[in-house]
Amino acid sequence: MSSTTPPLTRASVVEAHERIKPYIHLTPTLTNTTLSDLASTPQSKDALRGTPWEGQEPAKPRIKLFFKCENFQRIGAFKVRGAFHAVGRLSEGERAKGVVTHSSGNHAQALALAAKTFSIPAHIIMPTISTPSKIAGTRSQGAHIHFSGSTSEEREAVVQKVIRETGATFVPPYDHPNIILGQGTLALELQEQTERLIEGDKRLSVEVGKGGLDAVIAPCGGGGMLSGVATALSGTGIKVFGAEPSFEGADDAKRGVEAGKRIERVKTLTIADGLRTPLGELTWSVISDKEKVHNLYSVTEKNIKDAMRLVLERMKCFVEPSAVVGLATILYNEDFRRLVEKEGGEEGWNIGVAFSGGNTTVEAISKIFAAPEERAERAEGVVGKDGERVAENVAG
Amino acid sequence: MSSTTPPLTRASVVEAHERIKPYIHLTPTLTNTTLSDLASTPQSKDALRGTPWEGQEPAKPRIKLFFKCENFQRIGAFKVRGAFHAVGRLSEGERAKGVVTHSSGNHAQALALAAKTFSIPAHIIMPTISTPSKIAGTRSQGAHIHFSGSTSEEREAVVQKVIRETGATFVPPYDHPNIILGQGTLALELQEQTERLIEGDKRLSVEVGKGGLDAVIAPCGGGGMLSGVATALSGTGIKVFGAEPSFEGADDAKRGVEAGKRIERVKTLTIADGLRTPLGELTWSVISDKEKVHNLYSVTEKNIKDAMRLVLERMKCFVEPSAVVGLATILYNEDFRRLVEKEGGEEGWNIGVAFSGGNTTVEAISKIFAAPEERAERAEGVVGKDGERVAENVAG
């Protein structure tokens, strides 16, 4: 992308927000009494059986939840924020030559939409083995599809070829300042919407604690959203946490931070298919900074399924599994719950929860919930949201 | 209920709204470009094959949709509106003796919540064969459960017994002015929210047509919501339409109005399980009045499934099948589409769509979408949302 990129500061996120506002939805921040009550109820000792917390007294955190619903965002996910910011910051000359990326998911669709909006070409590199529905979906956004093999080397070769031939600018899915700053804009909205909701409660004489958020938790795959949220909230006093699936080593960010070294390769088929990617260099630098991301937590496939059922059946929000990993942490990770009990005390914590998106299908949900627990843990029944085979994921 | 009940007028709905506002959620009215575009696209001739419209030129209506999302309402359905209105209008003396109803669904939960809020007893008559989860759910709201047989006579006997013993007031699920006026309040909000949304579009220089709604479509089971909406919008010039499933004669209101005589018994296992009930005497009197309800339409089980998939996967709203019968009519009923094409003309119509609720489960949705089309039409695979057997439904 353009060689002049803004620094990773809250001010840059505010600037990014001004730039992309006309193109994105102001998604709602919702509350839900049932879920806040559940989060504030100690888990049963039975629930802790067979976990690292077995035999301990369950934590008693007091929690009020504020859900930022990016499943209602354009293309059904937060990814349009980064894409519109990246395209919006290109010079006229750069823009004319178009943009290119490799992705078979939400980022490809988001970039295609941004390119269409600016009337410039979008080149999307997709593996030949992608499902026809996904190819058709991206093509219907007006993007040019280029096919590649499934390895990162084959993919990269096609990207370079497109750049040579067209002069298009590469827009990576997460590891770039413009993407990170774009994704971070959701945290500005979440912060302001939460304050307004609490202000409204005060007017209705509903008993409220503090006037704003104490913490925000965001899912972490490649780390674009989490880095953006951490950048946006840096210096506000609001603590930022990351959440990952633990299945088959998908908690690469957590393990990397614990070991003090980025994990560059991940091979997992967690049902949270948006979180199968390792961190990039830039997102690692933000997420491993304790001043920016307070801590990382992981949850099981069962935790994710249980949280997803609650969001679907109680909140009536249609979300993808990746979206609920933060909520699953709040509900079921005793380490996190202990922290809130300790730091929140009597007054408790107002926690913002970023729902990343809602791009899944009725069939994918049926499969996830039809799989018996052990099988879900082995994930054989849930190979990608559309049956696509997932090769080893490499940061990029 | 109390012998003094207000007349069925818009003014009474406005009064009901003031009364219940503190107890209900102001649910959002949402728009969705994809669905409005789909509604404005002529159906393919293939889609009309095998329907009454086969061989005709598909209609070309221009439609903008405004969805009133009562799936986000308390207890997950619009029913709390009527319940809070009914309980709120009781005298102190009446209230002290409690309320009683027969229902295994949303009305029972809504009444239990209203009673709990006013700290009065709620007696709920449920068939002995009700699923344990439903019994537990209603009990968890603090209601007293009384069991009865499955026929309306057995049910009625237990209701009378409870009234004799406690002096509780009977609150019927739909066929009472206080219920109808309460349910109608959603139309006031929908009307105002739509006007505000259009006003907002104007400020953003988005091209808009008229300043408000041209029509509202609501699902019709017992007719409480449809009667309420029609009462609320009476005299506004906004046309009101009802939508029903056609499966196994569930379109009793439509057939009754066409024949000029109320149909009193319905026996259907439509997947839209909230709409298996016939009209009551009072709802019939409103719905058969052409000045109030402009027309009624029906849709197939497949239409309902297709519309439900769109709402889940595109709008990301978790809804029950009954909720989408209005949208299914707009998308797939050519008679309705022709009417909009004709009456809306070049400018088109702004149509409000009432989503009744979202009380279903992942498993119920899996079943509905797993069933092959013919089987879905025969409905054997989808016996109630929780496997409960449904006896013949009689108005009451």
* Residue A359 pLDDT: 93
* Residue A136 pLDDT: 81
Enter the tokens of residue B117.
């809020």
| Residues listed for chain B | 396
ipTM of this predicted complex?
0.88
Average pLDDT, integer, range B317-323: 97
User: Does B319 sit within 8 Å of A361, measured CB to CB?
Assistant: no
Residues of A taking part in catalysis: 79, 104
Residue A30 Rama label (left phi>0; alpha psi -120 to 50; beta): beta
Q: Which residue out of B104, B227, B246, B288 is catalytically annotated? A: B104
Q: Is A28 on the interface with B (CB under 8 A)?
A: yes
Enter the tokens of residue B9.
């007028």
Shortest CA gap A316–chain B (Å): 4
Strand partners, A148: A127
Q: Answer yes or no: is pLDDT of B11 > 80.
A: yes
Enter the tokens of residue A96.
């004319």
d(CA B254, CA B271): 18
pLDDT tens-digit readout, A6-55 = 999 999 999 999 999 999 999 999 999 999 999 999 999 999 998 999 99
Question: Measured between CB atoms, which of B316, B318, B361 is closest to A76?
Answer: B316
Q: Answer yes or no: is pLDDT of A223 > 70.
A: yes
pLDDT tens-digit readout, A53-76 = 999 999 999 999 999 999 999 999
pLDDT tens-digit readout, B123-158 = 999 988 877 777 887 888 889 999 998 888 899 999
pLDDT tens-digit readout, B176-193 = 999 999 999 999 999 999
Shortest CA gap B284–chain A (Å): 31
Question: Which residues contact residue B79 at a Cβ distance below 8 angstroms, ignoring those fewer than 6 apart?
Answer: B106, B107, B109, B110, B173, B183, B357
With beta carbons less than 8 A apart as the criterion, state whether B277 and B393 touch. Answer: yes
Q: Is B31 on the interface with A (CB under 8 A)?
A: no
Confidence of residue B385 (pLDDT cuts 50, 70, 90): very low
Enter the tokens of residue B322.
């009954």
Confidence of residue A394 (pLDDT cuts 50, 70, 90): low
pLDDT tens-digit readout, A347-386 = 999 999 999 999 999 999 999 999 765 444 444 333 333 3
Q: Which residues of A touch B34 (CB under 8 A)?
A: none
Mutate to test the interface with A, among B30, B117, B362, B367 (most CBs of A within 10 A): B362
Q: Higher model confidence: residue B50 or residue A392? A: B50
Average pLDDT, integer, range A328-340: 98
Which residue is associated with the tokens 């994918």?
A: A364
Shortest CA gap B257–chain A (Å): 34
Handedness of CA B171, B174, B175, B177 (dihedral sign): positive
All structural domains of chain B, each given as residue ranges with its CATH number in brackets, are 10-77+176-394 (3.40.50.1100), 79-170 (3.40.50.1100)
Size of interface A-B (CB pairs under 8 A): 55
Shortest CA gap A313–chain B (Å): 6
Q: Which residues of B touch A313 (CB under 8 A)?
A: 318, 360-362
| Annotation says B104 is catalytic | yes
Q: Is A38 on the interface with B (CB under 8 A)?
A: no
Q: Which residues of A touch B30 (CB under 8 A)?
A: 72
Q: Is B141 on the interface with A (CB under 8 A)?
A: no
User: Does A319 sit within 8 Å of B317, measured CB to CB?
Assistant: no
H or E element, residue A201: helix A177-203
pLDDT tens-digit readout, B151-178 = 888 999 999 999 999 999 999 999 999 9
Q: Answer yes or no: is pLDDT of B1 > 60.
A: no
CA separation (Å) from A210 to A214, A241, B237, B262, B278? 8, 19, 46, 56, 50
d(CA A218, CA B349): 41
